[in-house]
Amino acid sequence: MSIKIIRLAKQYTSVQETERAVKALHNINLDINEGSTTIFYGPTGSGKTTLIQLISGILRPTYGEVVLNSIHMSRARDREITRFREEYIGYIPQEILLIRDLTVLENILSPNLFRNETRKALKVRALELLEELDMLHKQNAKPYQLSGGEQKKVMIARALLKEPGYILADEPVSELDRDSANSVITLFSEYRKRGSAIVAASHKKLQMRHRCDIYLLYKGQIIEYTRGGAK
């Protein structure tokens, strides 16, 4: 399992035709392997979210290629990308994407129900995840009854439920307090040990407990690469 990003560029066409198209990403080349941790840092508007959405197959590249295992994203059919996302990708979006009138537990379960697993087994795992994130007492609450940080934790649990090969996290800890952020990082480390690759985007420093590849993004380009986080 690997992700290859080759000369990737993404342009957003502007709403008004008189304006220029926005270049969100430009000439990105990367390799992300099984069990690795990759972090994108950068200020707001540097293209972190776009890059994560391109890797997850939510967006399609304008130029270049994202190759997930052997699927070429620019040419793949929608069905193939969805199947890949269902099987391998646990996506944690930056914005709050929860279904308003489902409970926390139902929100975690509902997108994962189409896999070949019984609801009972999924529920057991969901409750374990909620316990690790200190959210067990909120399992029957509705998303609007939760704080921003708690909503983020629900989205993290939803993404991790299927034990994905790739965890794509967009600002996973930016709204969390220090304890919650630590428990999320611990969870990520556990998943990494089991073989998941972690790809995170953040404008804040992430205190990873293992080796990771750090890329600094600025105006849609990688301007610096370092290795860090090893202890």
Partner 1 sequence: MLGNSFWLAATNIRRKKFSSILFFVIAFFISQSLFLISLTRSFIRLSDFSDIRTFFSTVVLSVLVLSILLLIALTLLHMNSRKRELGIMRIFGARKSEILTVACLEIVLLSITGAAAGIACMVLLIKTNMLYLPHFFQGMARIDTFKLIGIAGQTIFLVALIEVLVSMLLLAILLHKDITRLTRGSV
Q: Given the complex with partner 1, which of 146 and 208 has the nearer CB atom?
A: 146
Q: Given the complex with partner 1, which of 120 and 231 has the nearer CB atom?
A: 120
**Residue 219: CB atoms within 10 Å:** 14
HSE-up (13 A, CA, CB side) for residue 145: 11
The answer to whether 227 touches 211, Cβ cutoff 8 Å, is yes
Q: Given the complex with partner 1, which of 19 and 78 has the nearer CB atom?
A: 78
Q: How far is the CB of 207 from partner 1 (least distance, A)?
A: 27
Q: Given the complex with partner 1, which of 96 and 216 has the nearer CB atom?
A: 96
Q: How far is the CB of 154 from partner 1 (least distance, A)?
A: 12
The answer to whether 195 touches 223, Cβ cutoff 8 Å, is no
Strands (E), the chain: 2-12, 22-33, 37-41, 63-68, 71-72, 89-92, 166-170, 197-202, 212-218, 221-228
Q: How far is the CB of 45 from partner 1 (least distance, A)?
A: 17
Write down the residue that tokens 């189409």 correspond to. 114
Q: How far is the CB of 31 from partner 1 (least distance, A)?
A: 24
Q: Given the complex with partner 1, which of 58 and 216 has the nearer CB atom?
A: 58
HSE-up (13 A, CA, CB side) for residue 56: 23
- Residue 136 DSSP label: G
Q: How far is the CB of 79 from partner 1 (least distance, A)?
A: 7
What is the contact surface with partner 1 in residues (CB under 8 A)? Answer: 53, 56, 58-59, 78-79, 82-83, 85-87, 89, 91, 93, 97-102, 106, 110-119, 158-159, 162
Sign of CA dihedral 69, 153, 213, 225: positive
Q: Given the complex with partner 1, which of 46 and 49 has the nearer CB atom?
A: 49
Nearest by Cα to 159 from 113, 199, 108: 108
Q: How far is the CB of 143 from partner 1 (least distance, A)?
A: 11
